[in-house]
Structure 1
Amino acid sequence: MRTATLRRATSETEIDVAVNLDGTGVYEIATGVGFFDHMLEQLSRHSLIDIQVTTRGDLHIDQHHTVEDTALALGAAVAQALADKRGIRRYGDALSPMDETLTRVALDISGRPWLVWKTQFTQTKLGEMDTELFQHFFHSFAQAAGLTLHVETLYGENNHHIAESAFKGLARALRAAVEIDPRKADAIPSTKGIL
């Protein structure tokens, strides 16, 4: 089983994360930010990665540290569970429709973190979550997991749908990329021999 458990503790947040890349999309999420919990639940359910996250953050200040540090911890756990990345498909992409919204997500588990973000919101908040933090989550997650990650909302109007289609797209692209390729289960998917 490709699993990882880690704890991240700073003066701003305390986070416990566990992931199982070969799970069934079972989740237990508690960050203190309701809309963020909803998005992480979508990430787990649609990637089939079992995710447990408990975050205790300085929400009396704002949500920034909670979202950023949760993304870093979750990304680090995924990277740890991938180990040397032997046998993975490496690449994944998804078109994620949600009613009037369509988002395209493509990623490479390259070890070269990068985010291209072409998604905009017309509201400053969804529930209690600041919409500017969505880009920050994707950036921090890509950084810690070692992903080259492209997220582009092709069109959409409803801000909830835009956010959710991005997270579901990430989930489905990640599911494809971490999957073991039965034709090359013993090989690292790079001509360099490492990722």
Structure 2
Amino acid sequence: MERTTTVKRYTNETKIDLDFSIDGEGKTELETGVPFLSHMLDLFAKHGQFDLKVDVKGDVEVDGHHTTEDIGICIGQALREALGDKKGIKRYGNAFVPMDEALAQVVVDLSNRPHLEMRAEFPAQQVGTFDVELVHEFLWKLALEARMNLHVIVHYGKNTHHMIEAVFKALGRALDEATTIDPRVKGVPSTKGML
């Protein structure tokens, strides 16, 4: 079964067309209007081996908030839909990624219980024109819509760009592990019988 999906989200603030494939090759086509976010999504897809196509017309003349938030919503919805009944998946994923002086860890549980726990102290409030507070906004909306438990820890770092980059790479790798089909898993990996 192909684990792919298409999500469309049209509001007064953003118009998003998104294609997502779990079992991809890390290929991306990204037109977000928010260059730093496009860079992070490219890293996320490459390290998760996801194929991701995003085309956004957003109100970036205001700022990048609505576009970043709504892309998080759409990727979360796409992940949840592409996973289907979650039969055979590993469910949990954990990844440490260093980026020069920074070290980030992301742990996920595709549990159907949305939660974001984030521990990160970024030294700068902006990277280029990107507001760093939007990293939390993106991750929270992703976790909420994917209905996953998401823990993000930046253990240390001095360069905000490096710290955020390590987070997005680790996110891709942790989700790659969690979505992997394990032939030993019969049904869903839960004693409840469902996720």
CA distance in 2, matches of 1:127, 1:37: 13
CA contact (8 A) 1:115 1:142 kept: yes
CA displacement 1:155-179 (0-9 Å, x = unmatched): 1101110000000110100000000
1:112-148 deviations in Å (ceiling 9; x for gaps): 0000010121212112110010011111101111110
Corresponding letter in the other structure for 2:187: A
Gaps spanning 5+ residues in structure 2: where?
none
**Is 1:155 the counterpart of 2:159 in the alignment?**
no
- Provide structure 1 residue ranges, at least 5 long, that are not aligned to the other structure: none
1:123 match:
124
2:177 corresponds to: 176
Q: Is the 8 A contact 1:34 1:127 kept in 2?
A: no
How far 1:102 moved relative to its partner?
Answer: 0.6
- 1:132 is aligned to 133
Q: TM-score, normalised by structure 1?
A: 0.97
Q: Distance in 1 between matches of 2:35 and 2:172?
A: 19
* CA–CA distance in structure 1, aligned partners of residues 154 and 130 of structure 2: 19
Aligned equivalent of 2:76: 75
The offset of 1:182, in angstroms, is: 1.4
What displacement does 1:44 show? 0.3
Alignment map for 1:37-116 (pairs within 5 Å): 37-116=38-117
Structure 1: how far apart are the matches of 2:126 and 2:133? 8
Q: What's the % identity of the aligned pairs?
A: 45
Q: Does 2:60 match 1:25?
A: no
Structure 1 stretches of 4+ with a deviation exceeding 2 A read: none
* Matched residue count: 194
1:189 is matched with: 189
Kindly provide the amino acid, as one letter, of the partner of residue 100 in structure 1. E
Deviations 1:37-95 (A, max 9, x none): 00000000000011111111111211110000010011100100001111110000011
Letter in structure 2 aligned against 1:12: E
The CA RMSD over aligned residues, in Å, is: 0.8
Q: How many angstroms apart in 1 are the aligned matches of 2:131 and 2:114? A: 24
TM-score by length of 2: 0.97
